[in-house]
Amino acid sequence: MKPSQRFIAGAVCPECQSPDSLLLDSNDQSIECVDCGYTQTAEQRDTDSKRESEAQQSRRKSVPEKVNVSDIIRITNIKNTD
Ligand SMILES: [Zn+2]
């Protein structure tokens, strides 16, 4: 785990559905699953949500069901045991 990474509390991996296994990198906003190794860059996430909203033709500005890292409920601080 990189020093810039923090666990995203309450987030579920889109790949393996494992809860609380996603790490958010505060440098590039990418996410990584410690369980299955799934990674997603902020750019990919952006593309995904655009594609989704187009497909759904959402009437309103609805919150995507996918993990929205910038709006995560809370981010667990990892204590440095050093
Ligand atoms: Zn996973």
Check whether 18 has a pLDDT greater than 80.
Answer: yes
Ligand 1 centre to CA of 9 (Å) is 14
* Residue that is written with structure tokens 């909203």 in the block: 53
Over residues 46-72, the pLDDT tens digits come to 888 788 778 776 555 555 566 666 655
**Residue 54, pLDDT score:** 80
Ligand 1 centre to CA of 32 (Å) is 8
Ligand 1 centre to CA of 56 (Å) is 25
Residue type, 65: E
Ligand 1 centre to CA of 71 (Å) is 20
CB 39 within 8 A of CB 32: yes
Q: How far apart are CA 3 and CA 64, in angstroms?
A: 29
* Residue 52: Cβ within 10 Å count: 13
Over residues 23-51, the pLDDT tens digits come to 999 999 999 999 999 999 999 888 887 88
Ligand 1 centre to CA of 14 (Å) is 7
Please compute the mean of the pLDDT values over residues 74-81 and round it to a whole number.
Answer: 58
